[in-house]
Amino acid sequence: MTFLGSYLKVQALQTGRAQALTTLRHVHLAERPMVFIPLRMAGEAAAPVAAMVGDDRAVPRLLIVPQPRNRDHRFAFMAELAEILVPYIRQFASRIDLQEERCLDAPQILVPNPGGVSFTRLLGRSTRFRSTTGPYAVPPLVPLLGRWLTFLHERSEFAGSAMLLAMTDVLSEHWVTGQSTAEDGNLAALLAWIDPPAGARGDAAALLAEDPLRSPPAGPDTDPGFDHQVLEPLIKLYESTGVQSQLRAALLEQLTPTWDLMWRGADLLRALPAAARVAARWERDRMALARESIRIAEGAFPPGRWDNPQAAARRLAMLESAQQGYEAGKAFDDPLVMADHRMEGVAFEGRVVDLEADRKIIPPGKVRRVLRPLVTIRTDDPVRLTPGKKLLSPQRPKQSCQLISIDDGLVVVQINSGMSRGATIPAIGETVCYTELDPFEGRRPRLPSLELTPWTHGGPPTEYVPTDEDAGEIWS
């Protein structure tokens, strides 16, 4: 944890209330997100027991699997889920601006925690290759749902993407509580710190929220006591009588508190103003959605269970670039986030005390003199940057600068670009901020074309064609 995060955690402990880690909301929040709360059977990797799903907080839909070990019951559940999620996704995926190569909007699915994201991946993986003909045929929407769930999970791994979000992760990104990171994974306890009942402290409210009798776990795993004392007997009752009303009532009681918590969390996030770069990140989601929609329409194969070495290398480079750009973008948008980096010494803020606006030099390897203003800044921040480092400023993000020297609180910065077309440079007396962070996601490593893939990475990849093994899983 960073210095600021540690300080705010102590403040949360003292005040009994979570402390704001940002001043802005750094994630897109749809006007009508789809809330998806899955539950699975204990000891089973991808055997759903139930789910509560819907995009209207007043109209939750409960889906149940009366016997999770029964294959037919599981795929009947997936078919019912597909009838809800696929039309929701299609209404966005089908509206593409071909000129701009992006969808006009995109779906957003909210799950309670990272476990819900992982379970969504397993549901997609277990259904996207299912056959719609022959033995064990499933409705056509089931493999399509698997395809979309796989896409949403893969996209969720990119920092800043907002089409599939875990509520605990998003809330923890904006508030710091007085409990451990592991305890923040409990949605009820986390919200108790952020928004405790009137007159109550967050720590006391969180302690009550951790009681599974008061606040059932947000899934995908259920409470062991509920499994043994309630769920197992009701499943046996269904097997012997065919009656599932009592099982449905018990699962409804388990899922309803989490449903309410999810919408409460969305309300808290919506109250924060959106950061400037949120729209651009959502635009990238809309572009990715358009590409996947076109691929599906053209009949492209679903992705395999494993990436080949070439695809894995490219994906890793894109993930690293997205993470770098996201962290830097948050700092450029939000002074409180930037303050954290200032404490770490990778950014500094101060007042301009001297300026050589007309300074010209001949850069190394050049013959013409060019304009290179020098800005001298007095700062009290600990600067742990080395001379020669490239710097950017949130006030003038398109100006590329270079750190020249640091001496007893005086920092000299040279402006190298971004001065054309009437762009301003800092003035004496102005408060400025500079950092090594780059919100433009930097440069990705240049990778060879697929035809030139070296033997160390398997040589040129062969065209991927799904086989029956792709549909086989240990839980199938």
The 3-class secondary structure across 321-388, one letter per residue, is: HHHHHHHHHHHHHCHHHHHHHHHHCCEEEEEEEEEECCCEECCCCCCCCEECCEEEEECCCCCCCCCC
Q: For residue 447, give both structure tokens.
A: 């990778």
CA angle, residues 65, 71, 75, in degrees to nearest 5? 65
Q: Is 337 buried (19+), middle (13-18) or exposed (0-12) by CB count in 10 A?
A: buried
State the pTM of this model: 0.90
Contact 413, 434 (CB under 8 A): yes
Distance CA 51, CA 251 (A): 9
CA-based nearest residue to 186, from 227, 225, 219: 219
**Residue listed under structure tokens 């203003």:** 373
Q: What is the H or E stretch that residue 401 is in?
A: strand 401-407
Contact 436, 430 (CB under 8 A): no
Secondary structure letter of residue 242 according to DSSP: -
> Looking at this protein, which amino acid is placed at residue 348?
F
As annotated, the residues of the chain forming the CATH 2.40.30.20 domain(s) are 347-435
| Sequence-ordered list of residues with C-beta below 8 angstroms from that of 178, at least 6 positions apart, any chain | 9, 12, 13, 16, 18, 193, 202, 203
Quick: pLDDT tens for 79-107: 999 999 999 999 999 999 988 899 999 99
**Predicted local distance difference test score (pLDDT) of residue 475:** 42
Contact 77, 258 (CB under 8 A): no
CATH number of 347-435: 2.40.30.20
Contact 180, 168 (CB under 8 A): no
Contact 53, 256 (CB under 8 A): no
Low-confidence ranges of the chain (pLDDT < 70): 305, 421-422, 441-445, 447-448, 450, 455, 457-458, 462-476
Distance CA 265, CA 259 (A): 10
CA-based nearest residue to 304, from 319, 315, 293, 289: 315
**Predicted local distance difference test score (pLDDT) of residue 474:** 46
**Predicted local distance difference test score (pLDDT) of residue 476:** 44
